[in-house]
Structure 1
Amino acid sequence: MNLKPMVIRLAMPVLLSSVVGCASAPAARIDESDPWEGFNRNMQVFNDNLDEYAMKPLAKGYQWITPSFVDRGVTNFFSNINDIGVTINDLFQFKLAQTGSDGARFLVNTVAGIGGLFDVATEIDLPKHNEDFDQTLAVWGVPSGPYLVLPLFGPSSVRGVFGLVGDAAMNPISYIDGGIVSGTYGAIGGGLFVLNAVDTRADNLSTARIATEAAVDRYEFFKNAYIQQREYLILDGNVPENDWDLDVDFNNFNNEYVEPDEI
């Protein structure tokens, strides 16, 4: 008796089911834009816990004890210092008209705005722009590299790390008490760094709350928001509407001042 045809008939359903099973459940593939997702998710949990138990209470306490006009003045002060780096990056990106506008904005707010405490420049039609060294590197053709969540700083990329270093080098606060020159911050430089971080966090309390309520997956939400925000800024807002996955005002993302009674 020839058993070969019988064995084939019996084995065929098993082989077919195996092939179908393999086709319906392919091996998991690594996202090329986020190959370090495991590390990034753990780092986001670390940052979220740090924010929940340290930064958020500090920010709420800061807003509770700080009058709104003082809070606004502190925000304006650091925004004015930031305009130094904005102006330099304008020049690096060959945006000559914007270089003149942002340079004038810094001078007007420094002199007429009493060291930047008051935003006089906006009132005379010298608007705030958002340029940083990460955008400059992108304009120069440097690819972003994989998505990366940094401790304390949050969403970034490999290029963004170099962008942060470049921005620090353009910030005068970095050189107070030795700063980045000596590798350490003294009392004044460190205090200004902490004040800026707390003030920024306080100004974004409601933004963070809305993001948390809207996100099904916080990690994916913040990753997509970061990537789309960088694209928006690098292209100066000239992004096709159908490219957006999130309903976010990227021009003001993480830069929006919120009055305390709106929190």
Structure 2
Amino acid sequence: MKTSILPLVAASVLLAGCATPPPRSNKAAFEAYQQQNDPLKPANKVFYHFDNVLDTYVLRPVAVGYSHITTPAIREHVSDFMQNMDGPAELLEFMAAGKPRDAGTTLVRFIVNSTVGIGGIFDPASAIGYKRVYTDLGLTLAGYGVPEGPYLYLPFAGPSDVRDASVLPAGFFLTPTVAAPPSTGLTIFNYSSDALDVVNKRANLLGTISNIKKSSLDPYATFRSLYRQHRAAQLRTINERDIATPPAWYPAKEREAMKPRPYGSP
């Protein structure tokens, strides 16, 4: 589920200290600085180390215990349920991005999994050919050419960038439970499901994160690089899988501009 972390984003901006760029005379160091695109590195590393301590002493032990009392099948069902909860938001995001095929797939998946799949606990939609497609508001903006901006590490949320962090609060208003009347039960459900989602995801990444921390000389830089690669791959997948459908009444020049092009081309 997508939740608002507006206070965290604001804190990141207000508290961030800027890294001092090397002199342009040191060409190699200056180019490396620009390539990293991490001018807020001092603050980012503070937040990273804070999260790392929290993960080491709280989240990871909880995830280890959780993995011992659950099976891979149970964790998969939890993931399916959480993904189904994001369905309405992803439907609107695909529509906003001009991706009608993916929007249709998302709609069918939400209807089928919410009914036959008992609220999304099961994923019968995949069995009938409607595999999950993913997007979010950050990827929607990226599809319109909005640059990612400087790298950000958000406390409690992890790797991000200015583009993705700027739309995190909006994601909160796209969750299905927002439309429900407020109640104590709904509040408990929201907090419980968010906590379960975090623990479930961490349990599924126990081996991956441990290997990175053990083998990498600079885990912070590794996580930064992996985040950017992952986001680029997600956008590339969307662009290659689905294309905008230009209406027939559009002028020929505009319809030509909407034709699919190789990822990364101008």
TM-score by length of 1: 0.73
Counterpart residue number, 2:168: 164
Structure 1 stretches of 4+ with a deviation exceeding 3 A read 22-30, 173-179
Counterpart residue number, 1:191: 192
Quick check: 1:91 aligned with 2:95? yes
Matches within 5 A, 1:8-47: 29=30, 31-32=33-34, 33-47=37-51
Displacement of 1:105: 0.9
Counterpart residue number, 1:116: 120
CA distance in 2, matches of 1:101, 1:237: 13
CA contact (8 A) 1:132 1:163 kept: no
Q: Does 66-75 or 146-155 show the bigger shift?
A: 66-75
Q: Does 205-214 or 113-122 show the bigger shift?
A: 205-214
CA shift in 2, pair 1:157/1:25, >3 Å:
closer
Displacement of 1:167: 2.2
CA distance in 1, matches of 2:179, 2:213: 36
Quick check: 1:69 aligned with 2:73? yes
CA distance in 2, matches of 1:89, 1:107: 17
CA distance in 1, matches of 2:219, 2:181: 38
TM-score by length of 2: 0.72
- Per-residue CA distance 1:158-183 (angstroms, 9 max, x = gap): 1111232232221224566749xxxx
Displacement of 1:24: 8.9
CA shift in 2, pair 1:135/1:70, >3 Å:
same
User: Partner amino acid for 2:206?
Assistant: L
Counterpart residue number, 1:56: 60
Aligned length: 213
Counterpart residue number, 1:9: none
Higher relative contact order, structure no. (Cα contacts within 8 Å, ≥ 6 residues apart): 2
Counterpart residue number, 2:233: 232
Q: Secondary structure at the match of 1:135?
A: helix
Q: Secondary structure at the match of 1:235?
A: helix
CA contact (8 A) 1:83 1:103 kept: yes
CA contact (8 A) 1:85 1:171 kept: yes
CA distance in 2, matches of 1:177, 1:70: 30
Matches within 5 A, 1:72-221: 72-173=76-177, 178=182, 186-221=187-222
Identity of paired residues, percent? 31
CA contact (8 A) 1:77 1:116 kept: yes
CA shift in 2, pair 1:151/1:215, >3 Å:
same
Counterpart residue number, 2:255: none
CA contact (8 A) 1:36 1:148 kept: yes
